[in-house]
Structure 1
Amino acid sequence: MNKIKGSLFFSVFVAMLGMMLIAPIMPPLIRELGLRESHSGLMISLGSIAMAVMAPIWGRISDKMGRKPVILMGFAGMSLSCLLFAAALFGGLNGWMKGGVLLTLLILTRSLIGAFIPAVLSASQAYMGDMTNESERGGAMAILSAANGMGLVFGPAIAGAFTVIGLLWPLYFGIVIAGAAFFVALLLIPAAKPGVREKAAKVSPLQPGLRFYLLFGLITMIGIMTIQVIGGFYVQDQLALSPEGTAQVVSFGLMCSGVAMLVVQLVQVKWLKWPPQKMLAIGSIFLVIGMLVFLISDRMVLTMLAFFIFGIGAGWMMPGFMAGASLAVGREQQGAAAGLVGVVQGVAASITPITMASLYQVDKYLPFALVAVLALAAAVGILWLARKPHVPALTAKDEAAEQ
């Protein structure tokens, strides 16, 4: 079982890494190609929309075909679409195409990458749900959450290292690492029979229990995206740094958040083994504290402390909502639930950049204040939810026994 969990960890890490490798290279590439800054935002938004649309589809496919085939399709699609994206950029940089033709190709190939990434994320989460019981689910989802966090943190760092060679080299690395992950999954992840019945009940995002965890997931991902989108501007304005100094401070701050997330998730897996509701309650409180420290941070030490506290909060909330969503449905609906978690991530990535950037233009404190309010609402909501008795989702076997 440890081999399978390690393989799923690596799969999720590579999927998130592939997504984050693109973000740091797009602004300079857009300018090199003679396109507008708004075109970069359009590509990011459409890629996120593709993730949100395809996540539940891949989840349902994994319920019918099995988890391993969907993970393999995801990595094959990631590698191929990343190759096509790099080819379009290469053609544009060399003057082989430009204008509307180039922009259309970039949008299509970037959207393809976004469409295949949730295949890996949804199927991996569903597989982890298949192989764990209720008491183990929180720790198991913490493993995948740690992989998510590592991809979010190390993706931009690896991309920055490869840009020393050339702007397209992060993409070349993405092609190779997705191909390598394909073979790791092929060799190390056992095939498992699909768990869905012919007429399995559909999973609705509005059904009781599940909807709360999806809402908490949306709040968590909005918080994470806010730090990534607005953090650099805020740090530069608050600390009066140069562009180079800002990049260094933000990189170190994100690393602090990543370390905090990993430590929290290691502690959760090894020792605490808290249920989802407790992880969400504690995590949302730390998220509120982190945002408040950001609001008062006018020195380097406070800024780094804010990043670290934020990482602690996110480190508990991510596995909390993932495990909660998994436990809210039956065993044969794990793929569908994991797909809805992917929708939440895609929606957050679509709406957060433009919303928080607009709020920042009104007042630089507004994005952090909004995240603090949302996290506080999540804390109150999970305490209210904790008052209700937990009823485990029925499996197909349980339903048959009742009939």
Structure 2
Amino acid sequence: MTASDPPAATTAAPAAQVPLLLGSVFLVYLGQMTLNPVIAPLSRQVGLAEWQIGVTISTAAVMVVLTSQFWGRRSQSWGRKPVLVAALGLAVVAMGLFAVSAGLGMAGLVGGTTLFALFVVLRGIGFGAAIAAVPPTAQAYIADVTADEAARVKGMAGVGAVQGIAMVAGSVVGGVLSAFGLLTALVAVPVLLAAGLALIALRLRREPRHELIATPARVSPLDPRVWPFLLAGFGMFTALGFIQVITGFVVQDRLHLGAETTGLVTGGALLAAGLGMIVSQAVVVPRSGWTPPTLLRAGGATALAGFVLLVPDLGAAPLFAAVLLIGLGLGLAMPGYTAGPTLLMNREEQGGLAGLVGATSGLTFVVAPTLGTALYGVEPALPIVLGAVVMAVVVGFVLVHPRFRAVPEPAR
């Protein structure tokens, strides 16, 4: 070791903190996914229309777009712990008040425009701003501590894998708890988030001041190193956004189920998608050694097959198989989308890039859930068909654009 080399404890410590960061991603998405199986039957029980739930989710996406780059850069200038503590604290408050509001709506004490406004402010604005902080913080950190393509792709796949695990666990938790009443699942969400807040506040170590970057670089979405990946990711998440919010409605209407049963079966469908993501990101991605462009091509084609299978009403088994394929395909493609551009950026740009990736993903959910639920009210197959068309365009784009033919070694 030379005089200029960092001490061994300093270089080893960041890797030891990665599981805690992945744990924070897991707990935030576990809370979100616990809510997903019950949001459709909840809306009908409290008298809100499908489009109002779409607007609520789209509002959360607006907040992700508006705040992701801020959080990504602040994770480099403030440190990861202050960002995560602030975000999880906001999430606990927002979802606690959301559960109270939903309970008042179910009791008939609040309804109509007032209840809709509470849903938008709490689940949309509050939770949307909170969840925007978590993936950019984790992704920027992983990009900062990985030095080669294989390690970085594996690290980014880890972020996606814990999201998939959260989808599985949240589907199970939300579906099972909904059998005891929808309010039970709603109350579980802030409890899970509070557990995550306690974990981060008590266990995550702050970076030494010299590891922080006072003025992280801004990254333009038009940067030629970045925009092809952003466009591919935008298409993928747009296609997903068309069907994610309507899954509960599809399950209820195609299988002719009641409210509590819908929550349980929708949880099973989301479980299938989560299992697909776990298999692809925890097994296929680390063992395949595929480059980011290859992951985008293979994943996009697999997800497209799932969208096509979901279009016709073929019964329960094909519905579950289609959702499984979509989860498997997007699980393959997501590490390619998140890791690919990081290999082209300098350290000072990683926070801004992570925020930009998060903002791009969030941007797709500004329009897609509202449009998807509106189209579902016109003709149930329309949002699924539109999602399949968008996914087909993405597959064609990543096959022909020269940026996806090779990705160089990481820039430092």
- Shorter-chain TM-score above 0.5: yes
The farther-off stretch of 343-352 and 189-198 is 189-198
* Structure 1 CA distance for aligned equivalents of residues 97 and 374 of structure 2: 33
What is residue 162 of structure 1 aligned with on the other side? 177
Amino acid at match of 2:143: G
Alignment match of 1:132 (pick from 146, 154, 165): 146
Residue pairs, 1:287-326, within 5 angstroms? 287-295=303-311, 298-326=314-342
What is residue 345 of structure 1 aligned with on the other side? 361
Please state how far the C-alpha of 1:61 moved relative to its aligned partner.
1.4
Alignment match of 1:112 (pick from 109, 118, 126): 126
Conserved 8 A contact 1:86-1:171: yes
Indicate how the Cα distance of structure 1 residues 307 and 109 shifts in structure 2: closer, same or farther if over 3 A, else same.
closer
What is residue 385 of structure 1 aligned with on the other side? 402
State the percentage of identical aligned residues.
Answer: 31
In the alignment, is residue 203 of structure 1 matched against residue 219 of structure 2? yes
Indicate how the Cα distance of structure 1 residues 170 and 328 shifts in structure 2: closer, same or farther if over 3 A, else same.
farther
Residues 192-227 of structure 1, C-alpha deviations (whole Å, 9 max, x = no match):
257665555420112112111122222222233333
Alignment match of 2:198 (pick from 166, 169, 183): 183
Indicate how the Cα distance of structure 1 residues 160 and 221 shifts in structure 2: closer, same or farther if over 3 A, else same.
same
Alignment match of 1:151 (pick from 145, 160, 166): 166
What is residue 43 of structure 1 aligned with on the other side? 56
- The SS at the match of 2:407 is coil
Indicate how the Cα distance of structure 1 residues 236 and 385 shifts in structure 2: closer, same or farther if over 3 A, else same.
farther
Indicate how the Cα distance of structure 1 residues 133 and 28 shifts in structure 2: closer, same or farther if over 3 A, else same.
same
Residue pairs, 1:328-367, within 5 angstroms? 328-360=344-376, 364-367=380-383
Q: Structure 1 length as normaliser, TM-score?
A: 0.84
What is residue 21 of structure 2 aligned with on the other side? 8
What is residue 398 of structure 1 aligned with on the other side? none
Indicate how the Cα distance of structure 1 residues 285 and 357 shifts in structure 2: closer, same or farther if over 3 A, else same.
same
Residues 150-209 of structure 1, C-alpha deviations (whole Å, 9 max, x = no match):
333432432233334443333332222222212322344332257665555420112112
Conserved 8 A contact 2:58-2:370: no
Indicate how the Cα distance of structure 1 residues 108 and 391 shifts in structure 2: closer, same or farther if over 3 A, else same.
same
Q: Which runs of 5+ in 1 are unaligned?
A: 396-403
The farther-off stretch of 37-46 and 13-22 is 37-46
Please state how far the C-alpha of 1:328 moved relative to its aligned partner.
3.5
- The SS at the match of 2:224 is coil
Please state how far the C-alpha of 1:279 moved relative to its aligned partner.
0.7
Residues 216-273 of structure 1, C-alpha deviations (whole Å, 9 max, x = no match):
2222222333332344555666xx5322576665443332222121111122454223
What is residue 70 of structure 1 aligned with on the other side? 83
Conserved 8 A contact 1:162-1:169: yes
* Structure 2 CA distance for aligned equivalents of residues 304 and 96 of structure 1: 37
What is residue 137 of structure 2 aligned with on the other side? 123
Alignment match of 1:243 (pick from 257, 260, 278): 257
Conserved 8 A contact 2:46-2:106: yes
User: How many pairs were matched up?
Assistant: 393
Alignment match of 2:94 (pick from 48, 61, 81): 81
Please state how far the C-alpha of 1:370 moved relative to its aligned partner.
3.1
What is residue 34 of structure 2 aligned with on the other side? 21
Amino acid at match of 2:358: G
Conserved 8 A contact 2:216-2:351: no
* Structure 2 CA distance for aligned equivalents of residues 324 and 183 of structure 1: 33
Amino acid at match of 1:134: D
Amino acid at match of 1:280: L
Please state how far the C-alpha of 1:278 moved relative to its aligned partner.
1.2
Please state how far the C-alpha of 1:286 moved relative to its aligned partner.
1.0
* Structure 1 CA distance for aligned equivalents of residues 320 and 181 of structure 2: 31
What is residue 8 of structure 2 aligned with on the other side? none
What is residue 189 of structure 2 aligned with on the other side? 174
CA RMSD of aligned residues (A): 3.1
The farther-off stretch of 327-336 and 189-198 is 189-198
What is residue 142 of structure 1 aligned with on the other side? 157
What is residue 387 of structure 2 aligned with on the other side? 371
The farther-off stretch of 315-324 and 369-378 is 369-378
Indicate how the Cα distance of structure 1 residues 156 and 251 shifts in structure 2: closer, same or farther if over 3 A, else same.
closer
Conserved 8 A contact 2:161-2:278: yes
Conserved 8 A contact 2:51-2:370: no
Conserved 8 A contact 1:4-1:188: no
Conserved 8 A contact 2:178-2:264: no
Q: Structure 2 length as normaliser, TM-score?
A: 0.83
* Structure 1 CA distance for aligned equivalents of residues 221 and 402 of structure 2: 17
Indicate how the Cα distance of structure 1 residues 24 and 251 shifts in structure 2: closer, same or farther if over 3 A, else same.
closer
Residues 69-116 of structure 1, C-alpha deviations (whole Å, 9 max, x = no match):
211211122112222333444555567766655554443222111111
- The SS at the match of 2:322 is helix
- The SS at the match of 2:338 is helix
Indicate how the Cα distance of structure 1 residues 48 and 272 shifts in structure 2: closer, same or farther if over 3 A, else same.
same
Indicate how the Cα distance of structure 1 residues 382 and 54 shifts in structure 2: closer, same or farther if over 3 A, else same.
same
